[in-house]
Copies of this chain bind each other. A is one copy, B any other.
């Protein structure tokens, strides 16, 4: 258990959406449930560290019980702005039969429209910074408020920002250590079809490391002229892919901050723990599975990844 139980002193600042989601998959549909990138990231990271600082925004409609739930998962919510007279960001989506693609049914930006992130002074020297998927200019505003450069800055983004605010995204990328995007986004950002060529080009934009997420086909880590490949755990029942990428990011940064070791070899293990947390996330709707598993479950799933991936020549 030493590799998941020993909590350390590295602090993590998590920035991203805290939201309501309504999800439909071939297995059923939900009413409004708690979602958002920062929610998934925090829950996944909470299995590795108890030093989670959250910066986000919700409306007066966001239930106190959900904030309590985050606090019970080691999250310091003093950076969570509550706009009493406004409504929480809402997203609703419907997955296609193969679960590999989805349509956005509705997006209500609500509090996100005017979100001005304020990093509490106690958070501004956090050791690790995870910038979850969000408007690039908001990600940049957080970077600008850090009183010292974090040991590691990870940024997650998506095609929407490449389409609509590429310049802001490129500006933010200059400051980033690790970028996490999916394969199509890597191709879009680089203009290169081949993922190795794409990774080379993206590394000239700032990030020293690149994680390319390929959904059910796993994830690739590029950096230091090395590559590492983590499979996705084959699962008999994939219930809801929402939040898988964010859970991956949470497992990744959580493990890195816990181990406080930024060698490529250790980043490999962090990518595996990212895949571990993503594999749990998809087993039930929304955040449900992440709130019911134990550290023992995480340990067991990680060992399943060893037997799935490792071999001897």
Interface residues of A (CB under 8 A from B): 3, 98, 193-197, 214, 217-218, 220, 226-231, 234-238, 265, 268-269, 271-272, 302-303, 306-313
B228 close to A234 (CB less than 8 A): no
A313 CB contact (under 8 Å) in B3, B228, B236, B271 = B3
- Give the distance in Å from the alpha carbon of A196 to the alpha carbon of B236 in the complex: 6
For A311, give its contact among B196, B236, B310, B313 (CB under 8 Å): B310
Smallest distance from the beta carbon of A53 to chain B beta carbons, Å? Answer: 27
Once the chains bind, are B217 and A265 in contact (CB under 8 Å)?
no
Tell me, rounded to whole Å, the shortest Cβ–Cβ distance linking A210 to chain B.
12
- Oligomeric state, in copies: 2
Bound together, the chains give a CA A195 to CA B272 distance in angstroms of 21
A234 near B195 with CB under 8 A, answer yes
Q: Which residues of B contact A236 (CB under 8 A)?
A: 194, 196-197
Q: 14 other contacts beyond A195-B234, A228-B307, with CB at 8 A cut-off?
A: A3-B313, A194-B236, A194-B237, A194-B238, A196-B236, A197-B236, A226-B307, A229-B231, A229-B308, A265-B312, A309-B309, A309-B310, A310-B310, A310-B311
Are the C-beta atoms of A313 and B308 separated by less than 8 Å? no
- Name the residue of chain B whose CB is nearest to the CB of A270: B311
A229 touches B195 (CB 8 A): no
**CB-defined contacts of A195 to chain B, threshold 8 Å:** 234
Assembled-state Cα–Cα distance A273/B121 (Å): 54
17 residue pairs A–B, Cβ–Cβ below 8 Å? A3-B313, A194-B237, A195-B234, A196-B236, A217-B218, A218-B229, A218-B231, A227-B308, A228-B307, A229-B231, A268-B311, A271-B311, A302-B313, A306-B313, A309-B309, A309-B311, A310-B310
